[in-house]
């Protein structure tokens, strides 16, 4: 597929998802004027590696603000690229409005839930933990809030299976759907057919970043609650419990129906 109206895009992202979205957009004919990836770490970043391979301008800044204010030299550096659209397939950095709102077409950001439900940076695990049965790949225009901007594309109806973990839900379902949603959104902007639908606050929710404190298993809870916690925290941070003086991480648990009159949390038999 070749776009009828190529755009000059700046990409803010990381990881294989950021790489694959950017590759698809470049293959469609869009001009990648700059790639912003995380600073170098212990492992090479796939998006940064693609930028180096393709010869795209690569920037690796840890932050864009200093004492709450935009870092002027970084804003100027970005402005010199002449981007018409910012694409944010997988970014954890908080960008100033001077960058988010600068391009003629603004910015597009991916979120792995059916917005307005499950806003926040840990949407995938929380959907499993809270018992959601469906999710969506959503692309929206950032507006300064946390995942609150108008929706451009939403691929809904993605099932959350009873045995899905956070990893399987992302890699097997949301990852491929997210790539298609991002490409579709950019193509709509390029064609001038994009529709920006404001999010309703009805049904809106926001969960915190998933931390170790949320992953503690309460064996007095219903079995389904424990099962969802284990799956939602797989692979990170790993649901955990105390065994004597040791913290044990639980993975690969499954829900089994048994007839038992014992209170929740009772050990019925060793496995």
The pLDDT of residue 271: 66
How deeply is 8 buried, as exposed, middle or buried, from its count of CB atoms within 10 A (0-12, 13-18, 19+)? middle
Q: What is the pLDDT of residues 26-46, one digit of tens each?
A: 999 999 999 999 999 889 999
Residue 65: is its pLDDT beyond 70? yes
Residue 270: is its pLDDT beyond 80? no
Q: How confident is the model at residue 2 (pLDDT cuts 50, 70, 90)?
A: low
Q: What is the pLDDT of residues 82-134, one digit of tens each?
A: 999 999 998 988 899 999 999 999 999 999 999 999 999 999 999 999 999 99
Q: What is the pLDDT of residues 184-223, one digit of tens each?
A: 999 999 999 999 999 999 999 999 999 999 999 999 999 9
Domains parsed from the chain with CATH numbers: 8-191 (3.40.50.170), 212-250 (no CATH)
* Distance, CA of 225 to CA of 69 (rounded, Å): 43
| Buried-exposed string 204-222: b where 16+ CB fall within 10 A, e elsewhere | eeebeebeeebbebeeeee
Higher-scoring residue by pLDDT: 4, 164: 164
The pLDDT of residue 269: 72
Helices 15-27 and 175-191 sit at what angle, rounded to 10 degrees? Answer: 40
The pLDDT of residue 3: 67
Residue 4: is its pLDDT beyond 80? no
Going by the DSSP 8-state scheme, the letter that residue 176 receives in this structure is H
């Amino acid at each position: 597929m070749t776009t009828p109206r190529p755009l000059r895009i700046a990409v803010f992202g990381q990881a294989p998802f950021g790489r694959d979205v950017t590759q698809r957009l470049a293959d469609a004919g869009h001009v990648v004027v700059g790639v912003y990836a995380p600073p170098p770490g212990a492992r090479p970043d796939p998006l940064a590696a693609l930028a180096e391979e393709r010869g795209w301008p690569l920037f690796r800044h840890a932050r864009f603000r200093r004492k709450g204010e935009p870092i002027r030299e970084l804003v100027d550096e970005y402005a010199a690229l002449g981007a018409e659209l910012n694409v944010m397939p997988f970014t954890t950095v908080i960008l100033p409005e001077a960058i988010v709102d600068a391009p003629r077409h603004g910015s597009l950001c991916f979120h792995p839930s059916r917005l307005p439900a499950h806003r926040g940076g840990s949407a995938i695990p929380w959907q499993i933990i809270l018992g959601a049965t469906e999710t969506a790949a959503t692309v929206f225009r950032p507006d300064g809030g946390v995942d609150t901007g108008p929706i451009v594309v939403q691929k809904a109806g993605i099932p959350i299976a009873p045995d899905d973990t956070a990893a399987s839900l992302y890699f097997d379902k949301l990852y491929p759907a997210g790539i298609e949603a991002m490409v579709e959104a950019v193509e709509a902007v390029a064609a001038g057919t994009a529709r920006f639908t404001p999010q309703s606050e009805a049904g809106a929710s926001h969960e915190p970043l998933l931390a170790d404190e949320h992953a503690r298993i309460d064996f007095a809870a219903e079995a389904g609650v424990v099962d969802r916690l284990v799956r939602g925290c797989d692979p990170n941070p790993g649901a955990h419990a105390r065994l004597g003086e040791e913290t044990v991480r639980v993975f690969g648990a499954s829900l089994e129906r048994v007839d038992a009159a014992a209170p929740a949390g009772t050990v019925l038999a060793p496995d």
